[in-house]
Amino acid sequence: MSGQKFHLGWFTNFALDDWNTPLASGGMPWDGQFYVDMAQMLERACFDYIMLEDTLLISDTYGDSREVYLKHGLMAPKGDPTPLAVLLGSKTKNLGVVSTMSTISYHPFTLARLCSTVDSLIDGRFGWNIVTSGEDAAAQNLGMDKLPPRQLRYDMADEYVAACRALWNSWEPGAVVRDRATSTYVDHTKVREVNFKGTYFSTRGPLNTVPSPQVQPTLVQAGGSPRGREFAARTADSIIAPSSGVAGIRAYRDDIRARAAAAGRNPDDIKVLFVVAPIVGATEEEAKAKAKRITEAPDYLEKVLASISLITDIDFSKFDPDQPLPDHMETNGEQGSLDAFAQWGSGKTLRQLAVEQVSRGLPGMVGTPEQVADSLCSVMDEVGGDGFLITKPFTTFIGRQHVTDICEGLVPELQRRGRVRTEYTADTLRGTLREF
């Protein structure tokens, strides 16, 4: 396994850029130009894709108030990622663009049609990050009293994806003939109704868009709980996973691959990317000083706990920061994120857990490009693949300097070692992911 190439993606969202630091970008990313510049930098560094996270609410979980979230710009304000995905795809040529869309906010027909349209607009480089949403407030914004239980949400998601796939395949290969002699654009015998009728969703079909370059978008998912992992292993082309130490990473990937094989899939067709937040500097001391400035900021603990509260639907303001968390808490929100944050059985205090979140929980992520590259390569050699999803350090906003540090500092070091791609060779995002 030693020396094999691994994949790189970037995890971000259509939210605030770095607006209130000495090297700030300005806090006005809403025309998308900041993200266009970022996507073009990622493409020059040959990232597989940029993933645009999303949520459907302004949270009030932490302290039963929206104040902390709006004051600090934590996950709000936020723009819809799918129009941004079209913009980014139009300004790049090879970079994959993945948009998050929740199964509670679209009917399968509407989402299948939207995905097909966007995939055509950006030449087969579109991905759908499948989420079921994890917050009751999001459900309430869409007219429900609360979310269904997690197990039921995944049952519904299985059916939802099946309906979308039926629609994407409602046009047979070769249906678009464009025959001038007979003045026929589409052979109607190759377009059929699907008449999908499930327990939760139904759709007549056929889809009224032509098949896109990928036919169906690249499917991305983050499955943390056993039921979530089962869904991801059966469904996804790429999986977003938290970094919880090398042993945890290896166990997660091995579990996903075993579940995929049991479902009749080739495990090599699924690329599990682990979320990390490298902090690099010209020297180790410089990198450590960057990390220290983040974790010693007066509002750091509040920001971390408010962020964890949002994605888990648990109010962490109720816990003593200088005591360990109660053992094995359960949530109807993101159980995998809760497990990765809490490090059950470690005995660490809530404050210590928060500090470790700065680089998303994986040791060795603070240092020179050479030191961080050593750590990333070592993890991949132990785990066997498949790669990393780079993001910003916890509680910071995305800024040009951080993207530059990674794209022009860390990635070239990985490229010199032959560990990540130096060019694109595939025509679609799915092809890029399956290249190695």
- Which residues does the annotation place in the binding site for FMN? 54, 100, 154, 225
Cis before 405? omega within 30: no
Cβ neighbours around 314 below 10 Å, total: 21
Q: Annotated binding site: which residue ranges? A: 54, 100, 154, 225
- DSSP string spanning 15-32? S-BS-SSTT---S--TTS
Q: What residues have CB less than 8 Å from 174, skipping those under 6 apart?
A: 187, 190
The C-alpha atoms of residue 249 and residue 276 are separated, in whole angstroms, by 12
- DSSP string spanning 347-384? ---HHHHHHHGGGTT-TT-EE-HHHHHHHHHHHHHHH-
**C-alpha count within 13 angstroms, C-beta hemisphere, residue 198:** 18
Tell me which H or E stretch contains 219.
strand 218-221
The C-alpha atoms of residue 122 and residue 114 are separated, in whole angstroms, by 12
Cross-strand partners of 46: none
